[in-house]
Structure 1
Amino acid sequence: MIRAILVGIMIAGAAITVEASDSCIECHGNRQRMESLGYGHFTMNSKEVGAQTRMPATCSECHLGNPVAKEKEGAHRGMARLLVVGKKGFTVITSARRYPLEYGTNPMNRLYTVAGKDGMPVKDTSVTAISWHDKRVDTLSQDFEVMGKTCGACHRKEFEEFSRSTMAINGKQSQYKGWITPERGPHNCGPWFEGNFGALQANTQLPLSPEGNRINQKACNTCHVGCLDCHFNPQKKNNADPSRGPHTFVKTPPSESCYGNGRASICHAGPEDRRRGAGYFGGSFSFPEGNEPDVHLKARVGCLDCHESTKSNPAIGHGMVKRQAQDSCGRCHPEAVKTHATSRHRDLSCEACHIQKVAGYQGTYWGPGKIAGTATPYFKYKAYYGYMPEPVLIKDQKGRWIPVKPFPMAVMNQKGSPFTPGLHWRYPSDLPELKRTDDAWGYVGLLDGLPENNKALLWIQMDKMSHKLGKSRSCDSCHGSPDGAQLQKVTWEYSDPGAMPFNGSHEVLADRNGLFIKGMRSEKIEPEQGYSLSAFAPWVYLKDAWRIGGDFSLPVIKDRKRYETFRDSPDTRENAGIMHH
């Protein structure tokens, strides 16, 4: 009798599950009914969804809602939806979408929303971002409640581990609590606005409204990762491959997911191809567009092939990815790593020689402007996009030479600053590898001299570069100068709000006396109405102010004749232990 009751319960449970699932499919599986409602494009059935997700989950187990309700409003109540973010106020557009996502060919913007115009679908220009349904509607940050009810309901261990990971808690950027955080210093990405409004307002000369503070933070939150950012991989439906379609999931995140997976320059695309200027993908992700990608892209070596994660080490915890990957070079290049360790250049990182033509930001300034239609003293004028021929090499905290791209930065309208001029490091060298970075910055000072937006906090951004590996730079690019000086001539074009586009250039000099950004010049600048030159181009007034002291010269070659012999003969260099094999 007990057995009969248990079997009855099991059958009833199975029936409820099928019924719950089928209540969604009653509409979405019926093309005629969906077309009569005007949403024929959203027709789907359990079989094709299952083939794409490769999971037995029902519709409501992923999307929530009320699967028992028979009417549209009731069934969709509480449903987790795709977040379509509008340009005005970064507000989620709540009106029902008439069309599904479209798929383009540009890998950076392959996913986009469309709207109807004259009865035809066209790209929706009112949309600034797309986020998946595990993000919060109000802040655009992760929605751990939704994640727990959906992905976490079946993948409890993975969800709990991810919730503690650096990516989930925004463990790096959230430590920049303002422009004058003593432990970290000012950062190109700006401060963490959430929870720090009082401190930011206290050191800002212009009014900083709560709404402006909130909008600034929402702009940051679009990069914050949830479960779907890594594992959801929607694609155009392919009848020849049932696994490809708008519900496609992947167990191991592809490298594209680390770059936003077709939803603009977000996640690691921004920090790598914009800020550091030496990204893995390059191409359409680079600024200016078309910079060469990392040589490993063509060789199909992905992010998780080099960066340790649960794919290679389950003990690391789900969602944790090891930042430092230099130990992985030896797996594919054992001879080069072995001979480099005993060579004359053993104190150079691999990237120091193998990165050239650094793109991305060549200057960034935070001044008053509007973001998503809201006034703020902190708009990021970042589109000084251009090229530096080779990185500048500096010694890291352990004495190893690493490549950086020094570029001028300023935040206007500050009241005070606690920093001392000179070179600083974002994170100390004694932190474990999962927490440490090798990023540096140089504090210049709190300067007067602007006609408005005065008291500008100046620094030199110097993030370490690790990607865009390729052919090694020439010997003369480091040792051509007899006194060890490094000189890079930088060209750029400005294309952000504030002025009509204009071209310019400057030089970066690193020698025994310090690090200097000098000779900043441009063609005539025509500011737009309502913008002041000091907000987006303070360098016009401050000239060559970006400089810090210290010895940034490279080792001097004393025997130039012998150097020329090695320079002109790669075999001789290798046999003499100057370079690796």
Structure 2
Amino acid sequence: MSTSTIRLVFMFCICILAPVIAWPLDSCRECHEDGQTMKKLGYPGFTVTQGEVETQSGMPATCSDCHRGNPSARVPGEAHRGMGRLMPVARKGFSVMTSPRSYPLEFGTNPAVHLIISTDKEGKKVRDASVTAILYHDKRGDTLSQNFAMMEQTCGACHKREFAEFSRSTMAQNGKQSQYKGWLDEQRGPHNCGPWFEGNVTAMRGATAQPFSDQAATLGQKSCSVCHVGCLDCHYAPQLKSGTDPTKGMHTFVKTPSPESCYGNGRSSVCHAGPEDRRRGAGYFGGSFSFPEGGTPDVHVAAKVGCLDCHESTKSNPAIGHAMVRRQAQHSCARCHGEIVRNHAASLHKNLTCEACHIRNVGGYQGTYWGPGKLAGAATPYFKFKAYYGTMAEPFLIKDQKGRWIPVKPFPMAVMNQTSSPFKPGLHWRFPADLPDLKRTDDAWAYVGLFDSLPENNKALLWIQLDKMSHKYGPGRGCDSCHGDPQGVQRQQVAWEYNDPGALPFNGSHEVVADKSGLFIRAIRSEKIELEPGYTMSALAPWVYLKDAWQVKGDFSLPPLRDRKGYAALKSVPMGPGKHHIIH
């Protein structure tokens, strides 16, 4: 039989058999690629083609490769069974909203909260005010924490090595925050973010003087878990479709996480936006991420220097492991500022870190108090009254465990209704100096004591938060900001506004002083406080009763100058300190 005859017979067989062959059905494409079908179903905004997804994501994956589900079923309920989807989290109960959404993700203009969930209200499309957080489908709906099974079956099916390394990483294991095992953990101390509730509730309940329900503990853990990452938090970058760039759209992915993804990528103050701009008050982006809003961004933002340009990761060192990021980034300064770093190392100020001089105007929390309140609609002894927002013009300088001067923002903290305390008054470090950079922070805290002089919520455990400032680089602080006082006293007046549940907004202020005898937070005062029903003054403003209690002994002063006349003369000469190797 000739080759042409064989070819004809083969084509004949194909034509005869084709109608009875059961080709695999992909109901995802059958519905979602058909705009008319999606319109009839009431979800026109969810029309998308496989080609668009591949172009935007840069990956050849199918719908079910990334979202699971059942593409062989034509009935929507069956086709969507087990499917991973966007998870809006409700303010009440922190429960995932599972009802089908009429609208896809939308985009606003505020970079801090530019991802929007919309709903219908009185016949109009409005932003859904019941949504408090937006999570992706690599999180669990019950705990809001990482869903490793989903990650392994979706991202991990193609990116096996990356998933394996991520699963062991500090980020995936919530490695830092999970070490705060209650308020009385002797190794790490109490923390502004609060304790890691999971696995620690029994011990915490035994040390809590008020009822502490399972529901309160669960909601407390959910509020922690919402910040901790999966694959999509770093690599998924949804955005508006572009008429000129087909890679931009709802399915856009990036290989190298952007600085915006480190800051939650438009999902409010989650990921690093919370601890940097909200808590420390010296964040990278500033602007709408700042508290108070409008803070100056780090100078590196304008220079388009990203997080991973300074913080070592697999981008610069593949051996470090996927999702591992080196917290300490001081050594990277020399890559761009080599001469300055060399001059600094030879200067009189060589024991000051770069950020000690180049970080100013630190905002964020200027006080935080954990007391009885309501979290996600449920009563809890541990609600975080945190919105004491203001700006400290100059951070305080303290010596770290290696003898370097670092910038910190001292602010008062308390947790109410403790039964005991194992801590000794004074300065403590969160992590020992001999831990490697990947596992250590340079944060400190100062324990004050247990106090009973409150009308309720007694045995208040007081401490001073002393997080290290690491971002918001800018022009250096003036010489007098450190050396203006002959005795090396550091002093700052801080004004703030409270705008959290429990009371109508009110303004106030306090003074922070660091000298040879200790560290003091004094003269905390405010305008009249009008409480909301069901709240107590001792829970949200214990300073009203405790007054100047926030103080610890120790030498927190700066080294006084021996030659004040020489200092004055040197300051008057342009570039004088640099020429004499006083500074770089």
Q: Place the TM-score, normalised by the shorter chain, in its bin.
A: over 0.9
Question: Are 2:447 and 2:464, in contact at CA under 8 Å, matched by a contact in 1?
Answer: yes
**Mapping for residues 289-308 of structure 1, pairs under 5 Å:** 289-308=293-312
The one-letter code sitting in structure 1 at the alignment partner of 2:163 is: F
The one-letter code sitting in structure 1 at the alignment partner of 2:387 is: A
**Cα distance in 2, alignment partners of residues 20 and 381 from structure 1:** 56
1:566 equivalent among 567, 570, 573: 570
Aligned CA distance change for structure 1 residues 458 and 21 (closer, same or farther; 3 Å): farther
What TM-score comes out, normalization by structure 1 length? 0.96
- Residue matched to 2:519: 515
**Cα distance in 2, alignment partners of residues 574 and 176 from structure 1:** 44
**Cα distance in 2, alignment partners of residues 341 and 567 from structure 1:** 21
1:326 equivalent among 320, 326, 330: 330
Cα deviations across residues 259-316 of structure 1 (Å, max 9, x unaligned)? 0000000000010001111000010000000000100000000000000000000000
2:241 equivalent among 234, 237, 243: 237
**Cα distance in 2, alignment partners of residues 275 and 178 from structure 1:** 19
Question: Are 2:26 and 2:72, in contact at CA under 8 Å, matched by a contact in 1?
Answer: no
When the two structures are aligned, how many residues end up with a matched partner?
A: 564
2:413 equivalent among 409, 414, 439: 409
Partner SS state of residue 454, structure 2: coil
The one-letter code sitting in structure 1 at the alignment partner of 2:332 is: S
**Cα distance in 2, alignment partners of residues 130 and 20 from structure 1:** 34
1:130 equivalent among 107, 112, 134: 134
2:380 equivalent among 371, 376, 379: 376
- Residue matched to 2:62: 58
1:394 equivalent among 392, 395, 398: 398
Alignment of 1:201 with 2:205, yes or no, is: yes
**Cα distance in 2, alignment partners of residues 555 and 19 from structure 1:** 80
**Cα distance in 2, alignment partners of residues 457 and 348 from structure 1:** 32
Alignment of 1:159 with 2:167, yes or no, is: no
The one-letter code sitting in structure 2 at the alignment partner of 1:119 is: G
- Residue matched to 1:76: 80
- Residue matched to 1:145: 149
Question: How much does 1:572 deviate?
Answer: 1.5
- Residue matched to 2:16: none
Cα deviations across residues 429-475 of structure 1 (Å, max 9, x unaligned)? 00011001000000000111000001100000000001000000000
Partner SS state of residue 367, structure 1: strand
- From the CA coordinates, give the structure whose radius of gyration is larger: 2
Question: Are 1:360 and 1:385, in contact at CA under 8 Å, matched by a contact in 2?
Answer: yes
**Cα distance in 2, alignment partners of residues 174 and 558 from structure 1:** 46
Cα deviations across residues 39-77 of structure 1 (Å, max 9, x unaligned)? 111011111111101100000000000111111111101
Partner SS state of residue 575, structure 2: helix
Cα deviations across residues 533-566 of structure 1 (Å, max 9, x unaligned)? 0000000000000000100110101211110122
Question: Are 2:387 and 2:498, in contact at CA under 8 Å, matched by a contact in 1?
Answer: yes
- Residue matched to 1:8: none
**Mapping for residues 13-162 of structure 1, pairs under 5 Å:** 22-162=26-166
- Residue matched to 1:14: none
The one-letter code sitting in structure 2 at the alignment partner of 1:551 is: D
Question: Are 2:201 and 2:217, in contact at CA under 8 Å, matched by a contact in 1?
Answer: yes
- Residue matched to 1:420: 424
2:172 equivalent among 165, 168, 172: 168
Question: How much does 1:121 deviate?
Answer: 1.5
Partner SS state of residue 96, structure 1: coil
1:455 equivalent among 449, 454, 459: 459
Question: How much does 1:575 deviate?
Answer: 1.2
Alignment of 1:282 with 2:286, yes or no, is: yes
**Cα distance in 1, alignment partners of residues 128 and 269 from structure 2:** 18
Cα deviations across residues 224-254 of structure 1 (Å, max 9, x unaligned)? 1000000000001112110000000000000
1:258 equivalent among 237, 255, 262: 262
Question: Are 1:412 and 1:457, in contact at CA under 8 Å, matched by a contact in 2?
Answer: yes
Superposed CA RMSD in Å reads 1.1
Partner SS state of residue 520, structure 1: strand
Question: Are 1:52 and 1:243, in contact at CA under 8 Å, matched by a contact in 2?
Answer: yes
Question: How much does 1:194 deviate?
Answer: 0.6
Partner SS state of residue 169, structure 1: coil
Alignment of 1:267 with 2:274, yes or no, is: no
1:544 equivalent among 548, 561, 564: 548
The one-letter code sitting in structure 2 at the alignment partner of 1:440 is: A
The runs of at least 4 aligned residues of structure 1 exceeding 3 Å deviation read: 18-22
The one-letter code sitting in structure 1 at the alignment partner of 2:317 is: N
**Cα distance in 1, alignment partners of residues 292 and 24 from structure 2:** 50
- Residue matched to 2:222: 218
Cα deviations across residues 76-126 of structure 1 (Å, max 9, x unaligned)? 011011111001100001100010011001000000100012333110011
- Residue matched to 2:18: none
The one-letter code sitting in structure 2 at the alignment partner of 1:358 is: V
- Residue matched to 1:556: 560
What TM-score comes out, normalization by structure 2 length? 0.96
- Residue matched to 1:192: 196
- Residue matched to 1:316: 320
Question: Are 1:21 and 1:58, in contact at CA under 8 Å, matched by a contact in 2?
Answer: no
**Cα distance in 2, alignment partners of residues 118 and 448 from structure 1:** 52
The one-letter code sitting in structure 2 at the alignment partner of 1:189 is: C
Aligned CA distance change for structure 1 residues 567 and 193 (closer, same or farther; 3 Å): same
Cα deviations across residues 163-192 of structure 1 (Å, max 9, x unaligned)? 000000011010101000000000000000
5+ residue gaps, structure 2: 1-21
Q: Which range moved further: 418-427 or 71-80?
A: 71-80
**Cα distance in 1, alignment partners of residues 575 and 88 from structure 2:** 57
2:489 equivalent among 452, 473, 485: 485
Question: Are 1:180 and 1:417, in contact at CA under 8 Å, matched by a contact in 2?
Answer: yes
